[in-house]
Amino acid sequence: MTLIGYARVSTSGQDLALQREALATAGCVRIFSETASGALRERPELERMLDYARPADTIVVWKLDRLGRSIQHLIEVVTSLGERGVGFRSLTEGFDTTTPGGKLLFHVLGALAHFERDLIRERTMAGLATAKAAGRTGGRPPKLTERQVEMARQMHASGEHTITAIAEVLGVARPTVYRVLGSGSPP
């Protein structure tokens, strides 16, 4: 069994030293490090580390949030590791999927994350239904009022104004004028 470390900071102003030292102390023989926002989908060192890991290895992080962008992403990554026979350990939280208790805790976290997603979905649907019943619709407000749309149509129909001139008068971009005129885009 090989312990493989993964350390990440979000900005270049932050220091990886604390994480790297903790991972080395924990016995990691190889440590992958990178500076990248946790929100980024593409993290090259994370991908290298995941490719490097073999069955019976254990991925070690200093904290859970160093690995996943969200609880859902964390669950996906750890589940994928488990399917490959690779364990996962977080030093700060004491989380370890190579133990029966750690496996149980991981499944409970997964169930809670699923429950949270369902609750959010229910609240969103209820809010949309309430808004619809009150006559409100979602989305961005229109750039132009009905009066401005009519003005744009009249200016265009007269043949005396270009799309650019209409856009300047209304204070919007040309694609907006094309959209309200129904032509969708420039010819």
- Annotated catalytic, 12? no
Give the chain as a DSSP string.
--EEEEEEESSTTS-SHHHHHHHHHTT-SEEEEEE--TT-S--HHHHHHHHH--TT-EEEESSGGGT-SSHHHHHHHHHHHHHTT-EEEETTTTEETTSHHHHHHHHHHHHHHHHHHHHHHHHHHHHHHHHHHTT---SPPPSS-HHHHHHHHHHHHHTSS-HHHHHHHHTS-HHHHHHHHT--S--
- Catalytic hit among 10, 12, 33, 185: 10
Q: Known catalytic residues?
A: 10
